[in-house]
Amino acid sequence: MRGVCLVIAAALCLALPGCSPAPATTAPALFPAERPDLAVPEPLTLPAPATLIEGRSYGVDSDISGYRFEDCEVVIAADGVEISDSEFVNCVVIVDFRRDITFEHCIFRDLSRYEETALRVNGSANVTVTACEFRDNFIGLGVQASTATITGSRFVNNNGHNALVVGEGSRATVSGNYFYGSFPHAILVLNRGGSPEAGVSITGNVIDRSAEDAINFEDYSNAAPSLVSGNVITNTGWAAVLVEYNSWRANVTIEDNWIEDTGAGWPLATHPLQPEVFQAGWGHGILIEDASQVQAINNRIVSAGEGGIAVRNGREITVEGNGIDCAGAGISALDYAGESLYREFSPLSPEDAGGSRVTARDNVIFSAAEDYADGPASELLRD
């Protein structure tokens, strides 16, 4: 380890006549021995429902509490509605062009409909989801062209097509939640061309056992400053955090996260209606590909199956103050992948195909096959 070698060299210098050690410099922070102990929201248990609604469409135009819906389509039909202590079983709940809607202590579970979302928010403002539970759904929660706050909630085995999706001009705060057993991603964030400016804050979440990448930014452009900070991300089939698919001017900062055991060699069960199955992929701690304006700062990456922080065809990328323990290259700046020009989803434009431009400083690579790797068309500036 580089830090240990420096200490030994200084000790030997003091023991030799006429030798004085080099001036002291500020040492990087020590690699934490244990991951942060973030609070995990407890499983939610509701009292027996006072009202049961089964097998029909139902409009909610005033506050409700203590309801149980089974096999329903539930539409929020007014602004300023609060839904609490209620359960939705194999239901689709729709919030369309509404404002000031609150879900608190609600359970959304067992949605068994292909490509359907248990709670779907579209074109709405100030939607709050707090202390809720999304369990065994095809998709848990979807937020599109809306502003939303999701806090203190549990997302367990939403394994059809993501636990939480935030997309197309949405502003969202995702804080203090627990994600487990998601396929393919726990959180998918996207903002395709032509969408209004987006922005997300993903902080203080515990994310465990994601089949592919735990947090995935796809086609994320035209964004206000977005933040992925203070999360504990463990046991991902692929990377912990990925920014990809033409995420130009993504404006994403990934900082102060604990990342452990990426590229885990286990298949995760998928929803019974999902025809796709788990496939092994990259195992980087953080991967940035076909993207720009991304910063990776002060993350701790432990037991990454491949590289610690890998950048492929990325520009304006800063990698600073990270501690890395991985099986591949600690930090890499690589050229574009040829197949990216022909992929079915969001193909890379030839004018955007090139090398990476990465500034790396004050990182500590504790264990890696090699500290740094760069491609012939790439530039890795490191201090």
C-beta separation of 158 from 184 below 8 A = no
List the structure tokens of 253: 């900062």
Report pLDDT for 52: 97
pLDDT in tens, 102-160: 999 999 999 999 999 999 999 999 999 999 999 999 999 999 999 999 999 999 999 99
Strand ranges in 245-363 using DSSP code E only, listed in sequence order: 252-255, 258-262, 286-297, 300-304, 309-320, 323-326, 329-334, 357-361
Report pLDDT for 30: 61
3-class DSSP state for residue 9? helix
Q: Is 210 part of any domain? A: yes
3-class DSSP state for residue 195? coil
List the structure tokens of 83: 């839904």
Residue keyed to tokens 């139902």: 58
Task: Look at the chain and report how many structural domains it folds into.
Answer: 1
Q: How far apart are CA 282 and CA 20, in angstroms?
A: 46
Q: What is the CATH number of the domain that holds 227?
A: 2.160.20
DSSP 8-state symbol, 336: P
pLDDT in tens, 257-311: 999 999 987 777 889 999 888 888 899 999 999 999 999 999 999 999 999 999 9
Report pLDDT for 32: 61
Closest CA to 122 of 146, 89, 101: 146
DSSP 8-state symbol, 350: G
List the structure tokens of 238: 């692929």
Closest CA to 381 of 361, 355, 351: 361
- How many angstroms separate the most distant Cα atoms in the chain? 89
Q: Is 35 part of any domain? A: no
Cα angle 288-206-130, degrees, rounded to a multiple of 5: 115
Q: Is 13 part of any domain? A: no
Q: How far apart are CA 113 and CA 120, in angstroms?
A: 13
C-beta separation of 211 from 278 below 8 A = yes
Instruction: Determine if the peptide bond prior to 272 is cis (ω within 30°).
Output: no
List the structure tokens of 113: 């409909």
DSSP 8-state symbol, 7: H
Q: What is 21-58 written as a DSSP string? A: PPPP-PPPPPPPSS------PPPP--PPPSEEEESSEE
Report pLDDT for 14: 31
Provide the residue type at 322 as one letter. Answer: N
Report pLDDT for 20: 44
Closest CA to 82 of 103, 66, 96: 103
List the structure tokens of 239: 């990377």
C-beta separation of 215 from 240 below 8 A = yes
- 195 compared with 92, residue with greater pLDDT: 92
Q: Which residues pair with 223 in a beta bridge?
A: 198
Report pLDDT for 5: 37
- Per DSSP bridges, beta strands 154-156 and 133-135 are parallel
Q: Is 171 part of any domain? A: yes
DSSP 8-state symbol, 316: E
Give the range of the structural domain holding residue 165, as residue numbers without chain letter: 159-382
Asked whether residue 370 carries a pLDDT value surpassing 90, the answer given is yes
Q: How far apart are CA 132 and CA 153, in angstroms?
A: 5
Q: Which residues pair with 331 in a beta bridge?
A: 309, 372
3-class DSSP state for residue 6? helix
Q: Is 228 part of any domain? A: yes
Q: Is 143 part of any domain? A: no
Outline where the chain has alpha helix (H): 2-15
pLDDT in tens, 1-59: 343 333 323 333 333 344 444 444 444 556 666 889 999 999 999 999 999 999 999 99
For 59-83, letters b (16+ CB in 10 Å) and e give ebeeebeebbbeebebbbeeeebeb
pLDDT in tens, 45-80: 999 999 999 999 999 999 999 999 999 999 999 999
Q: Is 279 part of any domain? A: yes
